[in-house]
Structure 1
């Protein structure tokens, strides 16, 4: 048997030093944002649409919840999660073409992706506030 018989076949969380590597952290965050969008975002949307269909009082209650400080914080968080998952998905599509798959490319695209998340989130909220006024 070879000397590598006691090593795991694939890396796992005990092998990675997460605090020193950006790629595993962003990968885990991508999965978590996908779950958050699928479950929490869908629940928020179903509640809001259901309230709109149920009647004016129910819709007013939903609007009051989403326009409260906690509701605005939840919507802001949902916006960040949406743009993070979108930008990281585009990043993965770039990698699928064979571009930026080096260690330096992974770090470069990580910072570009995080900057685009910040920019898109701010842009969406500025446009939303302008339209709301």
Structure 2
């Protein structure tokens, strides 16, 4: 049997070794919001399909979307859209070479969180 040669080189770092940072967690959350937006897109499609099929199907989904649970889902979707939009804008700004220092990036993450919550509340109040 051939012997395997053990290397003394360090192994590649894993997520359990790294300390979570605000910028990395914010970037991960941008990806999570993209998945949430994709999943929540079923509701407007369901609403439109129900409107095209029957009055009882439309009444069901319309009642669901106008309930407190529907309001909560729509608020979460609105927050996810704004957060994802601001996250992609932040990455575009980084691609241009601006605000790439650690402190500036952390400040952008904080601003992104505050702005997305504020915009989601603004939309909820207006509509």
TM surpasses 0.5: yes
**Structure 1 residue 12, shift from structure 2 partner:** 3.3
Distance 1:112 1:37 in 2: 21
Partner SS, residue 17 of structure 1: coil
Summarize the alignment of residues 48-59 of structure 1 with structure 2, pairs less than 5 Å apart.
Answer: 48-59=47-58
1:106 matched residue in structure 2: 105
**Judging changes above 3 Å, is the alpha-carbon distance between structure 1 residues 4 and 122 closer, same or farther for their aligned structure 2 residues?**
farther
Tell me the C-alpha RMSD between the 2 structures. Answer: 1.7
TM-score scaled by length of structure 1: 0.83
1:27 matched residue in structure 2: 27
Summarize the alignment of residues 38-117 of structure 1 with structure 2, pairs less than 5 Å apart.
Answer: 38=38, 40-117=39-116
Q: Which has the higher helix share?
A: 1
Query: Which of the two has higher C-alpha Rg?
Result: 2
Structure 2: stretches of 5+ with no match in the other structure: 1-6
**Structure 1 residue 74, shift from structure 2 partner:** 1.0
Partner SS, residue 18 of structure 2: coil
TM-score scaled by length of structure 2: 0.87
Distance 2:41 2:114 in 1: 26
Partner SS, residue 5 of structure 1: coil
Which 4+ runs in 1 deviate beyond 3 A? none
